[in-house]
Amino acid sequence: MITSPSSLRRSERSRRAILRASLDLCTERGYGRVTVEAIAARAGVSKKTIYRWWPSKGAVLLEAFADVLVDATPFVDTGDIGADLRAHVAGAVRVLSVPPFGPAYAGILSELHHDDTLARAVREQLVDPRVEEAVGRLRGAQDQGQIPPGANLPLAVEMLYGPVYYRHVLGKPVQDEETVAALVDHVLRALRAPGY
Amino acid sequence: MITSPSSLRRSERSRRAILRASLDLCTERGYGRVTVEAIAARAGVSKKTIYRWWPSKGAVLLEAFADVLVDATPFVDTGDIGADLRAHVAGAVRVLSVPPFGPAYAGILSELHHDDTLARAVREQLVDPRVEEAVGRLRGAQDQGQIPPGANLPLAVEMLYGPVYYRHVLGKPVQDEETVAALVDHVLRALRAPGY
Amino acid sequence: MITSPSSLRRSERSRRAILRASLDLCTERGYGRVTVEAIAARAGVSKKTIYRWWPSKGAVLLEAFADVLVDATPFVDTGDIGADLRAHVAGAVRVLSVPPFGPAYAGILSELHHDDTLARAVREQLVDPRVEEAVGRLRGAQDQGQIPPGANLPLAVEMLYGPVYYRHVLGKPVQDEETVAALVDHVLRALRAPGY
Amino acid sequence: MITSPSSLRRSERSRRAILRASLDLCTERGYGRVTVEAIAARAGVSKKTIYRWWPSKGAVLLEAFADVLVDATPFVDTGDIGADLRAHVAGAVRVLSVPPFGPAYAGILSELHHDDTLARAVREQLVDPRVEEAVGRLRGAQDQGQIPPGANLPLAVEMLYGPVYYRHVLGKPVQDEETVAALVDHVLRALRAPGY
DNA sequence: GTATAATCGAGACGGTACGTCGAGTCTTGTG
DNA sequence: CACAAGACTCGACGTACCGTCTCGATTATAC
């Protein structure tokens, strides 16, 4: 976690109340109206306690959000690379379409441009692991001959996630499975097309 | 425009000073530290004048940003769809890599999730026109037989812009022409691959 | 009047609308919430027109108020100095107890301490004439032997008006005729008591 | 006090700095040009702290003013009611003629007509105690036979304070001891004259 | 009867201050 | 010593009026 002041005296009770309150407030008012003061009041916690363990409200919500996303985007190898990619992306899309997670993540993303610490945390804890898993799965498919050698796998993953983020940020989130399927289909087609 | 009180009495002098000041401040301090107060002070203008014509600082910066982007992403038909798409996307990427436009646009995007008016303005003034032009150019290529009939052109455009936004939002903007070229190449390959 | 830019082209229509609007607003909202902008809007008049003819909102209300007060505090000589003083003071008290005049006058008084022009206008147009009339009437009574020679008549008048202002300013205005009568009675008794 | 959030955690340091700054600004600029912002800046205090403990700038200045006035108008019984009243009123007159207290009090009075809370505070903290003391002292003199039984003592006190307020509000403050002496003399004469 | 010049409505402008909000820090007293 | 409570400084918010300043569009004499 981003936390760190190293202490075992930390109150688990307070931590849970804070994460819970921040998600509740996000549901009720939307990310933009969540404030550290409101979280503290709702959780029955001192502002100081929040600042002691998290650097910003974005970090609080990131922690509250991360577990959910990790659970929702498992990565398995069924042998069918298309099915596996569809399941993976569909998991993310599904989480983002269930309040408060979609708005919360949009809110977190909105802080990245002025909060480098948070940006690094998001990349290291959320994005990179998922990208690497996806690249790894693609590489497995490549080894099995389902994808030509020399294919630009990182770019492929960006073509997969890119539209999801693009539409989420612009407020027209991807909602349906068909779009996910079409996306995966096109990416795989690009990789398999002649030209490498 | 987002503006509204519709008046011919509006001071062009003030308008220009405001747009200029907002871009300058964005360069000097970054989007997050630009405030309406600072814009007003820098432009030698009262806050009321800003609030009279724009609903938020995001709207001010959007207007300041829009002209530049429009100029930078022309759309021509050279007969070579690949070259045309590369030129178009590269124009956008180039603008976003020149301060203050990259940070400014990241900042604007960061406000969309809590400012629906601004979100609509961005879509209607910046995103949709560009997307439609790109779709139109692809349709032209389709008519000439360079792309199979039945190809999912809107999805293709999202696969083009998606990664650019994705990386811009995550703070790793696309900077080089090779990435743009590879992106366009993959998208076209997906469209042309058998399967439609 | 305080006015003056010397012109016969002045619109009587506007003048009346302004005075009317200012009294109406004073009734509805209280003096403190009357603003030049509101008067202009209510009267269907440009702010510039108000500023052309009056230096401040206090001056506008003074003009609206002055006529009323002058009519309400006539000064006659019935031969009975006590009755005359009672009638005079009671007239003022009566005006001040009818909205909007009481609050309006309290409001005007409240501006005197930071508006010397207005303070002079109030003294010269409202206070001094009334004081002088009262002193004159007392002097007449003195000539008739109802008051000893050498009595401090100006002080007597201040003892008459003083409590009225005192209570008006402190928000406990004199309302009843008995208080006025007692006041006049005591003042006359002071003047007639041995000691001069 | 007017204050209210009732706390022992209140910073005495800030409170003193605020009262001091408000009086200083009143001296330098006059009551009308004192603003909450200026008080905060001068006192090195945030506006929030001022608004936390006082409802308005008038309340701040009232508190700053009250101590001084209380000290300046002691009430003693020397056995000579005339001398005692003269000393009492002269004390108030003297305070009001020393900047910044005269202008400050005029300014406070000017807010009473649109600030009921402040009006009540002025009456309860400043005016009523002084009036009651004066009435009490007169009653003592009455008991000793210096004043006839049945005399209207509250009215007498208003005849004493009334002219002081009247002239203060109209910008011609009582300055000299002779006027005070004459005032007291007339009031006592009224009380002692036959007729009760 | 027209010039012609000031006044009119409307309302944008640069300002100053308002009173509120939230950030992040600091202090006090309790368990 | 972490905690809750909450006061503190700071800086920005968005609003309200101020008094000044163009703008045409009426007027209403003075030619």
Percent of chain D with pLDDT over 90: 74
Is residue D196 scored above 70 in pLDDT?
no
For residue B4, give both structure tokens.
């509204």
Residue D163: cis peptide before it, omega within 30 degrees of 0: no
Work out the average pLDDT over C13-25.
93
Q: Residues C53-108: pLDDT tens digits?
A: 999 999 999 998 887 888 888 778 999 999 999 999 999 999 998 878 888 899 99
Indicate the average pLDDT of chain C. Answer: 90
Which residue has tokens 């799965």? A137
Set of chain B residues whose Cβ sits within 8 Å of the Cβ of A163? 155, 158-159, 161-162
Inter-residue contact D153 to D78 (CB < 8 Å): no
Work out the average pLDDT over B107-135.
91
CATH 1.10.150.20 for domain B12-57, yes or no, is: no
pLDDT band at A8 (very low <50, low <70, confident <90, very high): low
Quote the CA–CA distance of A16 and A32 in Å, as a whole number.
Answer: 21
Inter-residue contact D107 to D57 (CB < 8 Å): no
List % helix, strand, coil for chain A (3-state, nearest 5): 70, 0, 30
DSSP-derived letter for residue A35 is -
Between residues 75 and 104 of chain D, which touch chain C (CB distance below 8 Å)?
Answer: 103
pLDDT band at B113 (very low <50, low <70, confident <90, very high): confident
Percent of chain A with pLDDT over 70: 94
Quote the CA–CA distance of C160 and C148 in Å, as a whole number.
Answer: 18
Quote the CA–CA distance of B174 and B153 in Å, as a whole number.
Answer: 23
DSSP string, A64-105: HHHHHHHHHS-----S-HHHHHHHHHHHHHHHHTSTTHHHHH
Residue A81 CB neighbours (<10 A):
20
pLDDT at B48: 97
Quote the CA–CA distance of C125 and C3 in Å, as a whole number.
Answer: 13
Work out the average pLDDT over A26-41.
90
Quote the CA–CA distance of D50 and D17 in Å, as a whole number.
Answer: 11
pLDDT at B196: 62
Q: Do C186 and D185 touch (CB under 8 A)?
A: no
Is residue B194 scored above 80 in pLDDT?
no
Domain with residues A12-53, CATH architecture: Orthogonal Bundle (1.10)
pLDDT band at C173 (very low <50, low <70, confident <90, very high): very high
Q: Do C113 and D119 touch (CB under 8 A)?
A: no
Which candidate from B167, B169, B186 shows the least CB-CB separation from A109?
Answer: B169
Interface test with A, best of B113, B114, B131, B167 (most A CBs within 10 A): B113
Backbone angles phi, psi at C93, to 5 degrees: -60, -40
Work out the average pLDDT over A62-66.
89
Inter-residue contact C110 to D111 (CB < 8 Å): yes
3 state SS for B34-81: CCHHHHHHHHCCCHHHHHHHCCCHHHHHHHHHHHHHHHHCCCCCCCCH
More confident residue, D9 or D108: D108
Instruction: Please name the helix (run of DSSP H) or strand (run of DSSP E) that holds residue B12, with its range, or none.
Output: helix B12-29
Quote the CA–CA distance of D138 and D82 in Å, as a whole number.
Answer: 10
Identify nearest nucleotide to residue D46 by CA to C1′ distance: F9
Instruction: Please name the helix (run of DSSP H) or strand (run of DSSP E) that holds residue A42, with its range, or none.
Output: helix A36-43
Q: How far is A9 from chain B (nearest CA, A)?
A: 35
Q: Residues B14-26: pLDDT tens digits?
A: 999 999 999 999 9
pLDDT at A3: 42
Percent of chain C with pLDDT over 70: 94
For residue B91, give both structure tokens.
């124009």
Set of chain B residues whose Cβ sits within 8 Å of the Cβ of A190? 186-187, 189-190, 193
Interface test with A, best of B120, B125, B159 (most A CBs within 10 A): B159
Set of chain B residues whose Cβ sits within 8 Å of the Cβ of A152? 182, 186
Question: Which nucleotides of strand F lie within 7 A of protein CB?
Answer: 1-23, 28-29
Q: Residues C96-137: pLDDT tens digits?
A: 988 788 888 999 998 898 888 899 999 999 999 999 999 999
Q: Residues D128-158: pLDDT tens digits?
A: 999 999 999 999 999 999 999 999 999 999 9
Inter-residue contact C112 to D169 (CB < 8 Å): yes
Determine the distance from the C-alpha atom of residue A158 to the mean position of all C-alpha atoms in its chain, rounded to a whole number.
Answer: 14
Q: Which CATH class for the D61-192 domain?
A: mainly alpha
pLDDT at C149: 92
Determine the distance from the C-alpha atom of residue C142 to the mean position of all C-alpha atoms in its chain, rounded to a whole number.
Answer: 26
pLDDT band at B5 (very low <50, low <70, confident <90, very high): low
Q: Subunits with at least 3 CB pairs below 8 A relative to chain D?
A: C
Q: Do A127 and B170 touch (CB under 8 A)?
A: yes
Q: Subunits with at least 3 CB pairs below 8 A relative to chain C?
A: D
- Which residues, in sequence order, are CB contacts of A172 under 8 Å at separation 6+? B123
Burial per residue of C1-28, b for 16 or more beta-carbon CB atoms within 10 angstroms, e otherwise: ebeeeeeeeeeeebbebbbebbbbbbee
Work out the average pLDDT over C10-29.
90
Q: Is the CB of A120 under 7 A from strand E?
A: no
Indicate the average pLDDT of chain A. Answer: 89
Domain with CATH 1.10.357.10 in chain B: 61-192
Which residue has tokens 């990259």? B102
Quote the CA–CA distance of A49 and C92 in Å, as a whole number.
Answer: 65
Is residue A31 scored above 50 in pLDDT?
yes
Is residue B143 scored above 70 in pLDDT?
yes
Closest chain D residue by Cα to residue C165: D166
DSSP string, chain D: ----S--S---HHHHHHHHHHHHHHHHHH-GGG--HHHHHHHHT--HHHHHHH-SSHHHHHHHHHHHHHHHHS-----S-HHHHHHHHHHHHHHHHTSTTHHHHHHHHHHHHTT-HHHHHHIIIIIIHHHHHHHHHHHHHHHHTTSS-TT--HHHHHHHHHHHHHHHHHTT-----HHHHHHHHHHHHHHHHSTT-
For residue A193, give both structure tokens.
């097309």
DSSP string, B128-155: HHHHHHHHHHHHHHHHTTSS-TT--HHH
Set of chain A residues whose Cβ sits within 8 Å of the Cβ of B164? 162
More confident residue, D40 or A194: D40
Q: Do A170 and B31 touch (CB under 8 A)?
A: no
DSSP-derived letter for residue B177 is H
Q: Is the CB of D48 under 7 A from strand E?
A: yes
Work out the average pLDDT over A55-72.
87
Q: Residues B51-60: pLDDT tens digits?
A: 999 999 999 9
Indicate the average pLDDT of chain D. Answer: 91
Inter-residue contact D140 to D77 (CB < 8 Å): yes
Collapse the DSSP code of B86 into the 3-class scheme (helix H, G, I; strand E, B; otherwise coil) and give the result.
helix
Quote the CA–CA distance of B131 and B137 in Å, as a whole number.
Answer: 10
Task: Single out the residue of A119, A193, C124, C148 nearest to residue D171, CA to CA.
Answer: C124
Between residues 155 and 194 of chain C, which touch chain D (CB distance below 8 Å)?
Answer: 155-156, 158-159, 161-167, 169-172, 179, 182-183, 185-187, 189-193
Q: Do C33 and D114 touch (CB under 8 A)?
A: yes
Inter-residue contact D190 to C190 (CB < 8 Å): yes
CATH 1.10.10.60 for domain D12-55, yes or no, is: yes
Whole-angstrom CA distances from B115 to A31, A61, A65 are 12, 20, 22
Percent of chain A with pLDDT over 90: 61
Inter-residue contact D157 to D138 (CB < 8 Å): yes
Is residue D39 scored above 60 in pLDDT?
yes
Closest chain D residue by Cα to residue C117: D171
Whether the pTM exceeds 0.95: the reply is no
Is residue A2 scored above 60 in pLDDT?
no
DSSP string, chain C: ----S--S---HHHHHHHHHHHHHHHHHH-GGG--HHHHHHHHT--HHHHHHH-SSHHHHHHHHHHHHHHHHS-----S-HHHHHHHHHHHHHHHHTSTTHHHHHHHHHHHHTT-HHHHHHIIIIIIHHHHHHHHHHHHHHHHTTSS-TT--HHHHHHHHHHHHHHHHHTT-----HHHHHHHHHHHHHHHHSS--
